[in-house]
Structure 1
């Protein structure tokens, strides 16, 4: 990190200088659809309501649907590109050059998803207020402060020239589609916005727009920043010792890491090595008594941490499953690879299925790939080509730190000196209002998030006890994604990799977000590679607690963990690899990746199932993805059954648990009752001592916490501190949770247990993040879909997560599911959460959701013969006339 000053040092905005409402931009981003509830929508909504009685509304809604047959011109193509769509609208593209295929991909993405792409680029550039007005200003201020688009602009100069050329070709394809159509022909959402007086016409797409979207992906998968602050706030509430009880260590004795052996020798990870280096010295323990004022500030910071829009999901339960088995564990005799990323639920879903095929594969045209794409980004992100297959889960290393900074006038304290703040000025255009000028200040550690939020700015008041006159406290963000990286290079390189070595070479460019990569190839090999930029901290900073920015020993070093030192394995002895966000490797690994792993319940269940099955078929791999065993039930239910309840109404639910196998299908009555008990148990145990923002969400961390507590009946956590002269013990809390749950499920569903169902409580609603939150019934009905009753649950292999602090509704889901058969790629299967289209009037808007909800998949044709057989529509893109 550099101390060089950019622009000029300036003073922070004067307190009280702003006449706008109190700013909480980061909190606004946490629930980012809030800015969609704009008065400007009312006019547009009324227009649609008035038109609803006429055929005109149908014309307006269907007007943006894409052309899928015949021919269309696309300027810049060197030759024809065929777009073959199957019954679900999944496009497979055939061309004669890499540039043609990527250009056509941009065109097809724009056909199906341009409004989604446009909103994302406005969000990642901090320009939502231009479209949605002042209510979007808070989120723009936060993103501008972090500078996502500024980093993306610098990144354009860092990536390989070939990648830049492909980004430009992709952008030209998007723009070729835009230039042919008016706004109302691009998306019905523009019709609504323009009916409200916006007069909007989308700008041309640029390569930076694609790169900026990768920053949003990196933010959502950024690691343990929330845990970092929550530890401090929990310590403030209950003391450091008890706070540590709520973050149990990873259970290496019960849950296997991804890579079971190996060590770093001379900077290179060797899977067969048994000795290696040692960890860096750890920082001193968090000094709770010395940081009281700073903890008060961090309480306000917490809202910032979960703030940015959940385009790819966030929170406990957000993760992914992937695994790969070799030929000896496959009924086909060749590897099988499965992946299902768990992300936030939305419509349209984050993925769009697609194939990119060179008619003749050669060095000049090497693409023969199919899988899941991001609209707005060229190439296939997850999938397979003719030689290899790969999948992702979140590695989850600690790549962010919050630094408390001592700010003095135009400078900040560091290593006994006052150094000048770096500053820049941002101007935010606001619909129907004057532009807003934002001054962004940064220290050597990163931008001061506290400058864009009045609550965070109160750090100066909360943390200044005993501080020198004129000194305030700020909060700076250090994050690996705030430096230019080469992730865009990795995507195309993976698409064209042919073996383990070329795949690893591609993975070495995958900088942020750091991921677990599983691999299989048609030569019979399987493997695992951990890529990504992971900082190496100095001895004063272990990344688990907010750091003191004035102490050099809390800094990051200039180096990151070397790629060759990251864990990897090819053809492991046990014949399979499982990644589900658990610990990557054992505690003797010399580099500190993180202490905040997912605690491995999903991963261990998958391992157990693979070992039980022996040789797996494609169908059995899909069955594993749908496993809905609750890993906490086996621990908790015996204690619940020991509670003596009065026969009849009180014990009806308890009797269901006596015969329950722990599975959670949608129609399960015992699963419904159990989860209501679980929610009430968490409330009874923790709500009395933890502030509301720290209430348990009920996911894997809380499995570990309660799993320990049930064996300690007199632990202080069981006591309700709000009751005087009474000390509750475990069985008191369990009994009351059972009774409370009986009353609650009766109110929510029925007096009669035979009418209870987990799916009736645990419903999935797909909502558009823009018009779907407008507050106008007809408009919301146009774009939203639901409800689906689903099984599964948080930290279950079928990971349909829910938040016990809020209710039982689904908050995150397997965003897609795929199983690749390396024996015959045409036997592979896939399914998307929604569909390929972002147009509400399209038959492919949510045409895969019913199948997804019942655990079904669709055929994944890959060979030319299979694609032709499945094809229902063919669009020929031909070179257009140049102007």
Structure 2
């Protein structure tokens, strides 16, 4: 209805001029009077000013609406954690109990329902991470992220991770296959009728970039393929193989040898010092020779170039897929005779590259009535996308992992002509297949994969990608030279189908040492150190894994000439019963920190590229000191995990203190070292000295090696480089001390002085002029970044997904291994991805903590809610008993069978 009334002048009244009812009293009246006065003043403004105000108000409204929409999109994927959800495929009801940190404990009546419940919860919290992982392991990242992901896809397609996983399904036991299939059903039940904006905010961001995408159903192969990525992360010494050749090319064979010191077997206690294998006396010198005779062929320029290109390409693969360096782990187990509870204690903290969300997700899987029909009752750390618990405990046993680190990869330099490869004097045909990489927002890329008897020619990828870059997205085929070319083949045990998934389920179900060892026998890749404890009081160690036996010409330390048959693998692997193992050792404890598993007389060659034992020896020292003082408890184990003593500092600091620096500004940092205890806390006493020492260390490495080694061989500052510099300190006139860029000839103390002076200036730039105010935590920062869109370069997206700026202690080669790369800066590159201590005598007395939270949603309170605790060394109660879990429950979700 239209108002047509007029006033006394014959005009229709302006509604804004009509008399208003008297405003109410009190606060509401005050607000009404304020708004009325504001509106009258606004109408009195000139028209242009009012129009500008209208535009500004519109922009503000648009921003408010945009912010509101963004908030809705960010919060929409958050999981339902209470009430009831009906899903298809369940045999009965499944309960999901979450505590204050969102950690889920799943209860069901059948194995299938437990797997379905785990799959549903994993998908609720982390499906985008799962989806990215399966795209990565299938070489399909470019379908989501465009041309920037083509290089990674090409390497993964060339190695054929998913093709291997597809073959593994048929090798698994019926129980494992059924568990994998039920898990996939649970994931797909979550995805059913759910749009991508309800699954993850990352999909909404990608959609803004033009991605049109609906996730495919989850399959068992998707789960198996992720195990290939973990095996790649822990693959052994392939990077060292390349580095040895390129170092020799840069400085000559003799000087390069000094950069790879021999393993100090006489100084480091191996993991296993007794047991059925170790106790035997080996006189099989001929057999040992078959696997240990070194061969260091002199490669030609084109062969070295192929190795350099391969190394550069592998370094550009996403860090979250693993680079095989800078990582390690600690674990140890103590017998009940040495503990306050009278039962064993087991500690574990795997060191992996940092990411957000972290690699682990805590969870428990519990049959309501444990028995033959439903035997699972387990809790621990899981991989999203993989059913079961990877590290943890059940009602009877606990287990932990560190990387065994055997040499399970070899690079072979091949002589290739067209479609043939030279081997044993004959040209043999290469196996060739075609791949197509779909590229979001770009043209497809054609990839030709060539494979020799040793493995895929991974060097092809670097050559082809160079062609791809030049063609700016056109279809590209394999580069084929006119004559013979140098190519690099990768032989790797994980490229053969295996049964590691069987081992995961069997470990979850094992109830004693014999069942544990039987389960471990299927753990083929990655090869791991497994520590064990049980409720009966036993402790133990087992080394599983598929480890090749090589012929006489190949020691695995450098790439081999592929055309010589004496370099081939024999096709046999170290027998499982011959791998090191021990139950209830005389010492009453087992320590594993990536050091040598056994001494040099062990008959099979595992590797000589072990971690050099600084962490294992420090743990041994701390543990034995505590045992001498009396029984140990959970808190003692946790305290050892947080030890920050630098192993190189006692060697280097005396030399630094002997250098005569000018008094005042120049020697302020040096003075901090006088009473330093070599610890590296983030804050507090000794933190200033730690900051100064580490900056000196980084500068010293650059001064020593940057003038002669190319940037891709720059020292990272880890244990190998500590050993190199320790040897050089005893040779003050060694040529490495001289800077070839200058006219002078520098000796040791000249270079040490320059390193300290430059460190003093650098810390002024980074922190403050006052040396006493420096802290190691100020420069040693933990920045957690989303591995995908968190590196997009789009500031709002990065701000949404990334969480930065925790100051932490520790460092490379330290028990609290918050590692950093001296060639890149002081930011943490790898860290304890979780920490746990299990107590078989009372499972509810166990403790655990994750590097991040359990959720992959940035709007979730559980995205990084454990990181603050992790950074200061705190842990959470690890509850296992049904009553304890029930008392700690904050949210209860019931999954009910759909009609």
Residue 270 (structure 1) shift: 2.9
Of 625, 634, 637, which residue of structure 2 is paired with 1:621?
637
Cα distance in structure 2, aligned partners of 1:871 and 1:624: 31
Cα distance in structure 2, aligned partners of 1:821 and 1:349: 25
1:665 aligns with 2:681: yes
Q: Report the equivalent of 2:373.
A: 364
Of 98, 109, 117, which residue of structure 1 is paired with 2:122?
109
Q: Judging changes above 3 Å, is the alpha-carbon distance between structure 1 residues 142 and 515 closer, same or farther for their aligned structure 2 residues? A: same
**Structure 1 stretch displaced more, 336-345 or 435-444:** 435-444
Residue 585 (structure 1) shift: 0.5
Alignment of 1:599-610 (within 5 A): 599-610=612-623
Cα distance in structure 1, aligned partners of 2:609 and 2:178: 39
Q: Report the equivalent of 1:833.
A: 851
Of 397, 421, 434, which residue of structure 1 is paired with 2:406?
397
* Contact 2:232-2:322 at 8 Å conserved across structures: no
Q: Report the equivalent of 1:709.
A: 728
Residue 271 (structure 1) shift: 4.5
Of 839, 864, 885, which residue of structure 2 is paired with 1:821?
839
Alignment of 1:77-116 (within 5 A): 77-116=90-129
Q: Report the equivalent of 1:208.
A: 221
* Contact 1:250-1:599 at 8 Å conserved across structures: yes
Once the two structures are superposed, residues 41-74 of structure 1 have per-residue CA deviations (whole angstroms, 9 ceiling, x without a partner) of xxxxx9x995675422211111000010111112
TM-score between both structures, scaled by the size of structure 2? 0.89
Residue 709 (structure 1) shift: 1.1
**Structure 1 stretch displaced more, 582-591 or 253-262:** 253-262
Alignment of 1:440-479 (within 5 A): 440-454=449-463, 470-479=483-492
Cα distance in structure 2, aligned partners of 1:308 and 1:385: 36
Once the two structures are superposed, residues 372-407 of structure 1 have per-residue CA deviations (whole angstroms, 9 ceiling, x without a partner) of 000000000000000000000000111111111111
Q: Report the equivalent of 1:42.
A: none
Residue 433 (structure 1) shift: 2.6
Once the two structures are superposed, residues 701-743 of structure 1 have per-residue CA deviations (whole angstroms, 9 ceiling, x without a partner) of 011111111111111211122223x321111111111111111
Alignment of 1:106-255 (within 5 A): 106-255=119-268
Residue 135 (structure 1) shift: 2.2
Of 346, 353, 358, which residue of structure 2 is paired with 1:349?
358
Cα distance in structure 1, aligned partners of 2:456 and 2:444: 22
Once the two structures are superposed, residues 427-482 of structure 1 have per-residue CA deviations (whole angstroms, 9 ceiling, x without a partner) of 22222233222111110011111222228989xxxxxxxxx982111111111111
Cα distance in structure 1, aligned partners of 2:460 and 2:701: 36
Residue 509 (structure 1) shift: 0.2
Partner secondary structure for residue 446 of structure 1: coil
Q: Report the equivalent of 1:641.
A: 657
1:848 aligns with 2:866: yes
Once the two structures are superposed, residues 609-644 of structure 1 have per-residue CA deviations (whole angstroms, 9 ceiling, x without a partner) of 110001211011000000000011111101100011
Partner secondary structure for residue 828 of structure 2: coil
Q: Report the equivalent of 2:739.
A: 720
Cα distance in structure 1, aligned partners of 2:461 and 2:263: 36
Once the two structures are superposed, residues 4-35 of structure 1 have per-residue CA deviations (whole angstroms, 9 ceiling, x without a partner) of xxxxxxxxxxxxxxxxxxxxxxxxxxxxxxxx
* Contact 2:682-2:777 at 8 Å conserved across structures: yes
Structure 2 portions without partners, runs of 5+: 1-58, 468-480
Corresponding pairs, count: 820
Once the two structures are superposed, residues 748-784 of structure 1 have per-residue CA deviations (whole angstroms, 9 ceiling, x without a partner) of 1111012201000000011101221121111111111
* Contact 2:330-2:402 at 8 Å conserved across structures: yes
Partner secondary structure for residue 663 of structure 1: coil
Q: Judging changes above 3 Å, is the alpha-carbon distance between structure 1 residues 535 and 49 closer, same or farther for their aligned structure 2 residues? A: farther
Cα distance in structure 1, aligned partners of 2:534 and 2:202: 43
Residue 304 (structure 1) shift: 3.5
Cα distance in structure 2, aligned partners of 1:49 and 1:421: 61
Of 494, 499, 509, which residue of structure 1 is paired with 2:512?
499
1:66 aligns with 2:72: no
* Contact 2:413-2:561 at 8 Å conserved across structures: yes
Cα distance in structure 1, aligned partners of 2:603 and 2:790: 48
* Contact 2:361-2:853 at 8 Å conserved across structures: yes
TM-score between both structures, scaled by the size of structure 1? 0.91
Q: Report the equivalent of 1:286.
A: 296
Cα distance in structure 1, aligned partners of 2:564 and 2:779: 50
Residue 260 (structure 1) shift: 1.8
* Contact 1:768-1:783 at 8 Å conserved across structures: yes
* Contact 1:398-1:534 at 8 Å conserved across structures: yes
**Structure 1 stretch displaced more, 226-235 or 57-66:** 57-66
Once the two structures are superposed, residues 93-140 of structure 1 have per-residue CA deviations (whole angstroms, 9 ceiling, x without a partner) of 011111110111000000000000000100110111111122222211
Aligned-residue CA RMSD (Å): 1.9
* Contact 2:146-2:439 at 8 Å conserved across structures: yes
Once the two structures are superposed, residues 143-198 of structure 1 have per-residue CA deviations (whole angstroms, 9 ceiling, x without a partner) of 11111111110111111121111111000000000004111110011111112221
Residue 861 (structure 1) shift: 0.5
**Structure 1 stretch displaced more, 371-380 or 153-162:** 153-162
- Rg (Cα) greater in structure: 2
* Contact 2:139-2:156 at 8 Å conserved across structures: yes
* Contact 2:335-2:537 at 8 Å conserved across structures: yes
Residue 683 (structure 1) shift: 0.9
* Contact 2:236-2:324 at 8 Å conserved across structures: no
Q: Report the equivalent of 1:5.
A: none
**Structure 1 stretch displaced more, 302-311 or 375-384:** 302-311
* Contact 1:313-1:812 at 8 Å conserved across structures: no
Q: Report the equivalent of 2:611.
A: 598
Q: Report the equivalent of 2:565.
A: 552
Cα distance in structure 2, aligned partners of 1:574 and 1:553: 42
Q: Judging changes above 3 Å, is the alpha-carbon distance between structure 1 residues 300 and 197 closer, same or farther for their aligned structure 2 residues? A: closer
Q: Report the equivalent of 2:446.
A: 437
Of 785, 801, 811, which residue of structure 1 is paired with 2:803?
785
* Contact 2:307-2:459 at 8 Å conserved across structures: no
Cα distance in structure 2, aligned partners of 1:140 and 1:58: 33
**Structure 1 stretch displaced more, 403-412 or 132-141:** 132-141
* Contact 1:696-1:702 at 8 Å conserved across structures: yes
Cα distance in structure 1, aligned partners of 2:531 and 2:662: 52
Cα distance in structure 1, aligned partners of 2:294 and 2:854: 51
Of 284, 292, 311, which residue of structure 2 is paired with 1:277?
284
Q: Report the equivalent of 1:511.
A: 524
Q: Report the equivalent of 2:417.
A: 408
* Contact 2:282-2:602 at 8 Å conserved across structures: no
Q: Report the equivalent of 2:597.
A: 584
Cα distance in structure 2, aligned partners of 1:842 and 1:763: 23
Partner secondary structure for residue 453 of structure 1: helix
